[in-house]
Amino acid sequence: MDERWRLFVDLDEPPSAAEQMDRDECLLEEVLDGAPPALRIYRWRAPALTLGRFQPDDHVDHDACDALGVEVARRPTGGRALLHGADLTYAVALTRPSDVRDSVEALYAHLARALIDGLARLGVRAEVASHDGDPGPVCFASALGSDLRVGSRKVCGSAQVHRGPAVLQHGSVLLDRLDIDEADLMLFEDEMARTTARGRLNDATVTLSELGAPTDAERVAAALIDAFGDVLGADFGPVGARLRPRRERLTST
């Protein structure tokens, strides 16, 4: 049976990276307070490096971030550093469905069904990644069961935070690549370590552009929205209103 969901599509005039994280966390708090589930899809106003909730700040080369115009923000979710800017980011806030087994992995698998379906609508055959070892400081340099891969390369990384029965999962679909990557923005022991990290990152990831899939943000967003509707029964309301940017200010100040 379909369930009423809230939809926020923020593709134009994105706010600061910190505000993006505030908005996502706000959705989580609202769900915890009894609001319907929410899907938010957004882009970034500038390259932004987000860090996992507990990731040490001293991994970050703040001078390099400043010099390259990269905002730095901390996610409410777990995981490691992720560079945004050529991706489309999604946030899902919901109460754990009663028919989903009570584990982190099961919830990732539940939401992955919609993400995989959305990517399939773009001609991309993705599947859930298996654990491939120590994640290190950079999110996309390794794959976990929370991530989606095409072949052996990661195309979508996700992370969660749980508060009581409410969960926020957000993640990033790689549309294309920027001129810089996480290896330019993190601190390493020496240049060889940086080069190794960059190579590992490039080898471990693939973008929609490289897969020959559409990279237009509105089209990718529409595919994900349709998939959440069809696979998870999310009822976002009248079709014509779906992609209109919502100016509704969330409660965070």
Partner 1 sequence: MEYPEELKYTKEHEWVRVDGDRAVMGITDYAQDALGDIVYVDLPEVGTEVTAEQSFCEVESTKSVSEIYAPVSGEVAEVNETLQDAPQKINDAPYGDGWLCTIRMTDAAEVDRLLDASAYQQLL
Residues with active-site annotation = 139
Dump strand ranges (E) for the chain.
3-4, 6-10, 38-42, 48-51, 71-74, 82-84, 87-95, 127-128, 148-150, 153-163, 166-174, 234-235
Contact segment (CB under 8 A) with partner 1 among 71-79, 109-117, 191-199, 225-233 equals 71-79
In contact, 28 and 250? CB cutoff 8 Å: no
Closer residue to partner 1 in complex, CB, 80/153: 80
Q: Which of 33, 57, 102, 189 binds partner 1 (CB under 8 A)?
A: 102
CA–CA dist 39, 234 (Å, integer): 9
User: What is the smallest separation between the CB atom of 78 and partner 1, expressed in angstroms?
Assistant: 4
The nearer residue to partner 1, 174 or 213, going by C-beta atoms, is 174
| CB closer to partner 1 out of 72 and 161 | 161
164 binds partner 1 per the rule CB under 8 A: yes
Q: How many CB atoms lie within 10 A of CB 2?
A: 11
CA distance 229 to 221: 12
- Dist. CA 63–CA 141, nearest whole Å: 22
Q: Which of 53, 125, 219, 246 binds partner 1 (CB under 8 A)?
A: 53
Query: Which range, of 13-21, 96-104, 118-126, 182-190, touches partner 1 by CB under 8 A?
Result: 96-104
160 near partner 1, rule: CB under 8 A = yes
Contact footprint for partner 1 (CB under 8 A): 52-54, 76-80, 102-105, 135, 144-146, 158-164
